[in-house]
Amino acid sequence: MLSRRVRRRTVVGLALINTMYGGSAIALPSSGEGFSIALQHETVSDSVGYSPNLQQGGFAAVEQKPRFQSTGFALSYTPDQLIRYRASLKQRHMHSLRDSFVINELSAGIKRRLHSKFSAPHTLDIGFETRFNYASEIYKNSYTSYADHLITEVRLKQPRDVRLSVRADLGVVLTDHLQLDVAFSGGLSQTRQEEVVGSAKLDNDCRYVFNASTTGGVVRQEERCGNLVSYEQRYPTSQALNNKLGFSVADDVTYWDYFFGPQLSLRWMRGGWSLGTGYELRQYIRPMLDDRILKAGGKPVSSSHSAFLKAGVNVFRHWNIAAQVQYQQAAFLDDIPFLYNALTYERYRNKSVLRYALSVSRYF
């Protein structure tokens, strides 16, 4: 049997790194109380030749960047053997050929062990988590064909989403060193954006700027075009904007979904070392998927699959280092629901990728 201290560090280290992948693995320790802080970094095997449009025209020199990477930290507090609180802050950088998005994620969760339901050593935990993605601006610096217009750049102002999930974890101790975890999670996501602003160029080479919000919008000509010295059209409602331009913030950049799925994992722990492997299936149901996303290959019902292998080791007295590699068949968009809109859907929908993560934790 692992010592209390070693067992706790190992389990917590794996749990922290596991939270990077959409799951809600705030695993409770078998015993012990305390506080931990972890630094995390993640990158992917998929790189992209990033070459954004330049203000003066043309493109910047190509620079190879990972399509997705994130850095963050997590705090965990376990006041007793029955409950754990966790909060994390993460910043994601996402690159495509022309665009670079920076997105912040804040999450908080609680997990409670239901002692009365199972006899030791088996465990049943129930957890609740909320995640909040936020960006001050998503600047899509690439051309988008939209409602018969060529949008040369678009800025999504203050996009944000919230994801609520619940999760049940059943831990079955197979031997002193081996444990099987069976989990089932489900939840919903909702996204909202205050406004969309951008520039568009029409077939007649007239350039316009637009600003659309959930309460209406305005289209304004940027400069004189032919005998049209200036042009401004104001829409009093989102519906009027949609009727005229086929553009509605409420419909186009507001999105929600349900998701659910099982996770199966096996953990081995001995002498400060740990190994884990597992598989997770997540089913997404998107009942209000935009028509344009459907035409671009989006599906109202979709699945994501991921298999992971992770290892951790306790070093020095209060430290744990964990690494994970994960094969994922899923869109990056699944992690950031507010990108799941007609303007940005075409980005970050890779289906297969290897993700690598490293976590360093300190216990107090």
Partner 1 sequence: MNNQLLVKHLPAAAIVMSLAACNSSSDSASPLMSQAVDGYIVAADVSCDEVSSGKTGAAGMFSCPAGTNLSRVSGGFDVGLDEVATTGTVPFTGVMRAPAGEPYVTPMTTLSVALAFDGQPEDAAFSLDNYQAAKTTLADTLGISLSAISENPVESLEAARGSAKIHHVLAAFAPNVDSYEEATAAFATVIIEEAARGGVLGLTANVASTMAAINTKLNESKSTLAMATADLNQASANVAIANQAVQEATSPAKVGEESQKALIDQAPVTIDRNDAIVTLSSRGQNAVELDIAGFESTSLNNGQYTAQLFSGLTSVAYENSVFQFNQNIIDAKVTVAFEVRSVNANDPRALSFYSDDIMVTANKGRSASLVVAMASENSTFKLRSTDSAGVLTEVVVATDGETFRSDGSELTIDLDRINKQLSSMEIEDILSESGDFSVTLVIQGLRVNERTNNATTEAKQFTINTGAGAIKGNGFRGYVSFIR
Amino acid letter, residue 98: R
Nearer to partner 1, 208 or 308 (CB): 208
Measured from the CB of residue 213, what is the shortest distance to partner 1 in angstroms? Answer: 15
Measured from the CB of residue 240, what is the shortest distance to partner 1 in angstroms? Answer: 4
Nearer to partner 1, 150 or 164 (CB): 150
CA distance 64 to 108: 34
CA distance 88 to 208: 41
Nearer to partner 1, 62 or 228 (CB): 228
CA distance 302 to 257: 11
Q: Which of 104, 127, 112, 114 is nearest to 24 (CA)?
A: 127
DSSP 10-47: HHHHHHHHHGGGT----PPPSS--EEEEEEEEEEES-E
Nearer to partner 1, 240 or 313 (CB): 240
CA distance 354 to 44: 6
Look at residue 250 and give its three-state secondary structure.
helix
Measured from the CB of residue 208, what is the shortest distance to partner 1 in angstroms? Answer: 11
Measured from the CB of residue 20, what is the shortest distance to partner 1 in angstroms? Answer: 46
Nearer to partner 1, 139 or 235 (CB): 235
Which residues lie below 8 Å from residue 70, measured CB to CB, with a gap of 6+?
20, 40, 41, 42, 90, 91, 92, 93, 105
CA distance 275 to 296: 40
Measured from the CB of residue 218, what is the shortest distance to partner 1 in angstroms? Answer: 9
Measured from the CB of residue 146, what is the shortest distance to partner 1 in angstroms? Answer: 16
Measured from the CB of residue 255, what is the shortest distance to partner 1 in angstroms? Answer: 26
CA distance 109 to 282: 19
CA distance 33 to 337: 35
Nearer to partner 1, 202 or 285 (CB): 202
Amino acid letter, residue 82: L
Nearer to partner 1, 81 or 233 (CB): 233
Nearer to partner 1, 37 or 240 (CB): 240
Measured from the CB of residue 243, what is the shortest distance to partner 1 in angstroms? Answer: 6
Instruction: Assess contact for 310 and 321: CB atoms under 8 A.
Output: no
Measured from the CB of residue 154, what is the shortest distance to partner 1 in angstroms? Answer: 21
Nearer to partner 1, 158 or 233 (CB): 233
Nearer to partner 1, 208 or 284 (CB): 208
Question: Residue 332 carries which DSSP code?
Answer: G
Residues in the chain: 364
Distances (CA, A) of 279 to 106, 108, 184, 185, 350: 25, 24, 12, 13, 19
Helix (H) or strand (E) segment spanning residue 109: strand 100-113
Interface positions with partner 1 (CB under 8 A) = 227-237, 239-240, 243-244
Instruction: Assess contact for 359 and 40: CB atoms under 8 A.
Output: yes
Measured from the CB of residue 227, what is the shortest distance to partner 1 in angstroms? Answer: 4
